[in-house]
């Protein structure tokens, strides 16, 4: 069984990491969704990849950490989807949890780069707990110390270790990290057969990101990956036949 994540929702069809993007992904039949979380000035969890909103709205120069939730809710992030999605704003994590059924696997990525959100781990676990959603969630981050804090607070929460650059033997790094790592999330550019074999031999699931080309996806499935993060609805929503191979 290969499990594919709609990366930031269906970002080719609606503004990334917003409710319409998640709804689109769900409509495509996605079984899993990836989203990024950050903190506002008043310590609310919002779902966004960048630490500023300028990519979506050039009239919004401030950093997320320097704005209150109220201020952020006044900013249109429809970006290039203006015609259809004018007025779309960043969702809070609560709002996303409201629309996600229990069966939908969520990968929540703590975006601690370049801003380090002190205490985000406690706020995240508290939020998931309030929504009775401590199950069917993987928490990942490029910040492996954030993952350690998550594991200290919620020891049974599956942890996904993200790697941007290729490091030597990340499976050994994970083993010696002192963390109970469930999955390794490597950049797809260096995910080859040997890499997947070694990670899996060490007991880790492997979910490379971001895989948009169908041929490359098939190749990675042949290498034995457990799933991928993808922007392509053909991959995250319509790959049943491949899964059965
Ligand atoms: O979690 C997979 C992927 O989202 C990591 O990279 O920069 O797209 O958040 P990025
Ligand atoms: Mg991400």
CATH number for position 237: 3.20.20.190
Please count the structural domains in the chain: 1
pLDDT of residue 96: 98
pLDDT of residue 241: 67
Domain coverage including residue 161: 5-244
Between 138 and 245, the higher pLDDT residue: 138
Half-sphere exposure of 57 (CA within 13 A, CB side): 24
Structure token pair of residue 145 = 């110390």
Per the prediction, the chain carries an average pLDDT of 96
Structure token pair of residue 77 = 């992030």
Pair 54, 75: CB distance under 8 Å: no
Mean pLDDT for 24-35 is 97
Share of the chain above pLDDT 90, in %: 95
pLDDT digits (tens, 9 = 90+) for 223-236: 999 999 999 999 99
3-state helix, strand, coil in the chain (%, to 5): 35, 20, 45
Please report which confidence band the pLDDT of residue 245 belongs to, taking 50, 70 and 90 as the band edges: low
d(CA 161, CA 182): 8
CA of 199 to the centre of ligand 1 (A): 19
The C-alpha torsion from 219 through 223 and 227 to 228, rounded to 10°, is -50
CA of 133 to the centre of ligand 1 (A): 22
**Looking at the predicted structure, is the pLDDT value of residue 243 above 80?**
no
Phi, psi (deg, nearest 5) at residue 56:
-100, -25
49 labelled catalytic: yes
Measured in whole angstroms, the distance separating CA 30 from the mean position of its chain's CA atoms is: 14
Pair 214, 234: CB distance under 8 Å: yes
Please report which confidence band the pLDDT of residue 27 belongs to, taking 50, 70 and 90 as the band edges: very high
**Looking at the predicted structure, is the pLDDT value of residue 178 above 60?**
yes
CA of 205 to the centre of ligand 1 (A): 17
pLDDT digits (tens, 9 = 90+) for 111-133: 999 999 999 999 999 999 999 99
28 labelled catalytic: no
pLDDT digits (tens, 9 = 90+) for 143-173: 999 999 999 999 999 999 999 999 989 999 9
Structure token pair of residue 47 = 């779902």
Structure token pair of residue 125 = 């676990």
Choose which residue among 36, 107, 141, 212 to substitute to test ligand 1 binding: the one with the highest number of ligand atoms within 8 A of its C-beta. 36
d(CA 92, CA 155): 25
d(CA 137, CA 1): 18
pLDDT of residue 1: 86
CA of 113 to the centre of ligand 1 (A): 11
- Closest ligand 1 atom to residue 160 Cα is 1
Q: Convert 26-41 to b/e letters by CB count within 10 Å (16 or more is b).
A: bebebbbbbbbbbbbb
Between 238 and 78, the higher pLDDT residue: 78
pLDDT of residue 236: 97
* pTM given for the model: 0.97
Which residues have CB under 6 Å of ligand 1?
A: 7, 34, 36, 49, 109, 140, 162, 185, 209, 229
Pick the ligand that lies closest to the CA of residue 163: 1
pLDDT of residue 65: 98
């Amino acid at each position: 069984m290969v499990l594919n994540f709609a990366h930031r929702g269906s970002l080719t069809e609606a503004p990334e990491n917003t409710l319409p993007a998640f709804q689109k992904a769900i409509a495509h039949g996605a079984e899993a969704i990836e989203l990024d979380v950050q903190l506002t000035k008043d310590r609310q969890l919002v779902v966004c990849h960048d630490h500023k909103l300028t990519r979506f709205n050039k009239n919004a120069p401030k950093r997320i950490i320097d704005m209150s939730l109220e201020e952020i809710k006044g900013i249109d992030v429809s970006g290039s989807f203006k015609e259809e999605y004018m007025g779309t704003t960043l969702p809070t994590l609560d709002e996303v949890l409201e629309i996600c059924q229990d069966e939908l696997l969520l990968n929540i990525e703590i975006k601690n780069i370049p801003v380090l959100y002190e205490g985000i781990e406690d706020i995240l676990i508290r939020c998931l707990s309030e929504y009775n959603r401590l199950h069917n969630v993987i928490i990942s981050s490029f910040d492996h110390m954030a993952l350690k804090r998550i594991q200290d607070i919620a020891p049974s929460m599956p942890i996904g270790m993200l790697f941007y650059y290729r490091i030597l033997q990340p499976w050994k790094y994970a083993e010696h990290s002192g963390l109970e790592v469930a999955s390794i999330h490597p950049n797809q550019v260096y995910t080859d057969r040997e890499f997947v074999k070694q990670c899996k031999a060490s007991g880790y699931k492997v979910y490379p990101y971001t895989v948009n080309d169908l041929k490359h996806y098939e190749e990675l499935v042949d290498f034995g990956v457990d799933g991928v993060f993808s922007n392509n609805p053909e991959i995250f929503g319509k790959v049943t036949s491949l899964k059965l191979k």
